[in-house]
């Protein structure tokens, strides 16, 4: 389901959400890599836990994010209803160096996590 009733109130929340570089960086990671938790966002962006949580809560309160609980972690993703609008915004920002670097760090972290999981699985099966 995509955004059907775009109005001034919702538009102002979206545009205010994108008025801060920190929130743009968070949304870029979620847009391009589908989901992330606070701990990963902290490391990728080199933010404190407090700063990361504050910005994620801002985005959540603007109705841009979903939450999914997995064990003790909360994973955030972009609400499907907002994807059309966010897609247009990130088409304009696709060559930004900082946003590209954030995604590279995400990919390295994810790759390291997969390597660790595989290594643990091998050790477990010995």
Write out pLDDT tens, residues 52-102.
999 999 999 998 999 999 888 899 999 988 888 888 888 888 888 999 999
CA 103 centroid distance within chain? 10
% pLDDT > 70, the chain: 92
User: CATH assignment of 8-125, given 3.40.50.300, 2.60.34.10, 1.10.10.10, 3.10.129.10?
Assistant: 1.10.10.10
Average pLDDT over residues 91-120: 84
Rounded Cα gap, residues 42 and 65, in angstroms: 17
Between CA 44 and CA 40 the distance in angstroms is 6
pLDDT at 1: 43
Q: How many CA atoms lie less than 13 Å away from 79 in the CB half-sphere?
A: 15
pTM of the model: 0.82
Q: Are 17 and 64 contacting, i.e. CB atoms less than 8 angstroms apart?
A: yes
The angle formed by the CA atoms of residues 84, 86 and 91, to the nearest 5 degrees, is 100
Residue 31 has pLDDT above 60, yes or no: yes
- The owner of tokens 């994108």 is 18
Count CA within 13 A, CB hemisphere, residue 104: 6
Q: Which of 7, 11, 1 has the alpha carbon at shortest distance from 88?
A: 11
Phi and psi, residue 108, nearest 5°: -65, -45
- Summarised one tens digit per residue, pLDDT across range 36-46 is 999 999 999 99
């Amino acid at each position: 389901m995509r955004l059907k009733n775009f109005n001034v109130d919702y538009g102002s929340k979206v545009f205010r959400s994108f008025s801060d570089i920190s929130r743009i960086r968070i949304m870029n990671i979620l847009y391009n890599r589908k989901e992330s938790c606070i701990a990963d966002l902290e490391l990728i962006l080199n933010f404190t836990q407090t700063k990361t949580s504050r910005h994620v809560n801002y985005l959540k309160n603007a109705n841009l994010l979903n939450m999914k609980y997995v064990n003790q972690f909360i994973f955030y993703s972009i609400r499907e209803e907002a994807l059309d609008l966010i897609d247009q915004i990130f088409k304009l920002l696709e060559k930004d160096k900082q946003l590209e670097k954030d995604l590279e760090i995400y990919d390295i972290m994810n790759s390291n996590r997969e390597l660790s999981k595989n290594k643990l699985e091998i050790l477990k099966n010995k």
